[in-house]
Amino acid sequence: MFKEKPYHPSDAYFIKGVEARTSSVHGVGVFAARDIKNKEVFEVSPVLLFTPFLFRLFHEETETRHVQENYVFWWEPGKLATAWGYASLYNHANGSGANAGYRLRKTESPALEIYASRDIKKGEEICLHYMHHRFDLEFGPSGEWWDASESDMTSAIAGFDTSAAALLSDAKKNYR
């Protein structure tokens, strides 16, 4: 009777063959619990979409950044995504150190899909390139980041807000 199988949330999201544990890179990371083949999707995490204006409201009330600002994904103008599952635990690696990638699934069941960009051996930490290889990143002690091709952080971030605040300004003007 139905041409397509009815949608069930258990079909839409999954985590396969990976585990979270302490990382030597930074805090917690995600590791292969088995060998993972190149191009294999091993996590599809549901996302919560929201306006970046929420961070501005938090900052105005508390005069501090919300910790979640470091764990969101840019979805589209005026929308950020918090991904559930392990998606926000993957550490960053520049260049060939990134052994996985991610893509945004913009469907009725929005999700973040994480896939291997090369074969990954059991026990290996899985790292993403946060900027999709557009430019490499360096991180400061407070979580701020800058383009690694810049010789010093001050010139790299001059006039550039490294938090979600840059998105907030746009959101306040255009998406309120």
1 located within any domain? no
62 located within any domain? yes
According to the model, what pLDDT value does residue 117 have? 93
CA separation for the pair 30, 129 (Å, rounded): 14
According to the model, what pLDDT value does residue 107 have? 87
Q: What is the mean pLDDT of the chain?
A: 76
Q: Which domain holds residue 84?
A: 9-174
State whether residue 128 is helix, strand or coil. strand
Over residues 86-105, mean pLDDT: 87
Strand-pairing partners, residue 137, are 147
Please name the amino acid found at residue 76: E
2 located within any domain? no
pLDDT digits (tens, 9 = 90+) for 17-57: 999 999 887 789 999 999 999 999 999 999 999 988 888 88
According to the model, what pLDDT value does residue 151 have? 43
Nearest CA-CA partner of 30 in 88, 71, 94: 88
Maximum mean pLDDT: which of 17-21, 97-101, 142-146: 17-21
DSSP state of 14: E
Chain-centroid distance of CA 73 in Å reads 5
35 located within any domain? yes
153 located within any domain? yes
Nearest CA-CA partner of 17 in 35, 5, 44, 3: 35
Buried b (16+ CB within 10 A) or exposed e, 103-128: ebbeeeebbbbbbbbeebeeeebbbb
The CATH number of residue 83's host domain is 2.170.270.10
Total tally of structural domains belonging to the chain: 1
